[in-house]
Amino acid sequence: MNLHWARAFQQLMPSLIQGVGVVLYVTALGFIGALILALLLAIGRVSKNKILNRILIVFIEFIRGTPLLVQFFYIYYVIPMLIDGIAAVFGMEIDVQFSATFSGIVGFTINYGCYMSEVIRSAILSVDPGQREAGLALGFSETQVLFKFIIPPAVRNSIPVFGNYLVMMIKDTSLLAMISVQELLLRAKTFASQTFMTVEAYTIVALVYLILSVPLSRLAVALERHLKRARLKQKEIKG
C-alpha cells in the first residue's frame, strides 16, 4: 500500500483550514445559543408554574431521547416542508428553505441547550438556600434574588461542565457532513474520493480534530481545578 503523506497534506490542508473556520463558526454560534436556551429552560424548570414545568420536561426529554443527527435532518428537511404545508392550508404558496449551516447551528442550540439546562438546573438547586433567604431579607423580590444571588454562582459552578460540552460540540460538527455542510469531514471525504488517498485524508482530518479538541479539554480541566481551589479558599475564609 503506497501512502503519500506529504502530497496529501499539501493538497488537503488548504481546504481543511477553510473547514476549521466553518467548524469554529458553527460551534461558536451554536454554543452561545445553547447557553442562552439552557438558562431559559433551567429557569422554567425551577419555576413554580407546574404546567410550564411539565411542558419543558416533555420537550427536554424528547430532544435528549432522539439522536442529534436525526434532529439535523428534521430541521433541514422536514420543518421547511411543514411550514410550506401550513402556509398552503391558508392559501399561501411559499418555498421555505434553511441553509445547511443555519440548520446545524439551530440543531446544536436546541440539542446542547437541553443537555446544558439540566446542568444549570442542578447547579441552581445546589446553591445554598441561605443565599435566597439573605436576598429576600434585603428586600429583593424572588425574581431579583434569582438573577442576583442564585444564577451567577450556579452558572459559575457549571463552567467546567460547559467546557466539556464545547469539546463535544466541536467533534459533533462532523455530523454536519450528512446535511452537506462543508466542514472537515466532508472536505476530507471529497478529497479522498477524488485522489483515492483515503488513509491519508481521514488520518489527517482526525489529527485536526485532535488539535482542536485536546487543548480545550486541558483548559476545561485546568479551569475546574482552579474553581475547586477557589471554592475551598472561600470555605476556609468563612470557616
CATH number at residue 23: 1.10.3720.10
Per-residue H/E/C for the chain = CCCCHHHHHHHHHHHHHHHHHHHHHHHHHHHHHHHHHHHHHHHHHHCCCHHHHHHHHHHHHHHHCCCHHHHHHHHHHHHHHHHHHHHHHCCCCCCCCCCHHHHHHHHHHHHHHHHHHHHHHHHHHHCCHHHHHHHHHCCCCHHHHHHHHHHHHHHHHHHHHHHHHHHHHHHHHHHHHHHCCCCHHHHHHHHHHHHCCHHHHHHHHHHHHHHHHHHHHHHHHHHHHHHHHHHHHHHHHHC
Query: How many structural domains are present in the chain?
Result: 1
Going residue by residue through the chain, which has 239 residues, state the pLDDT in tens, using 9 for 90 and above: 678 889 999 999 999 999 999 999 999 999 999 999 999 999 999 888 899 999 999 999 999 999 999 999 999 999 999 999 999 998 888 889 999 999 999 999 999 999 999 999 999 988 877 777 788 788 888 888 888 888 888 888 888 889 899 999 999 999 999 999 999 999 999 999 999 999 999 999 999 999 999 998 888 888 878 777 776 776 666 65
Its pTM stands at: 0.90
Host domain of residue 104: 5-238
User: Identity (one letter) of the amino acid at 97?
Assistant: Q
**Residue that has been written with the C-alpha cell 438556600 in this structure:** 129
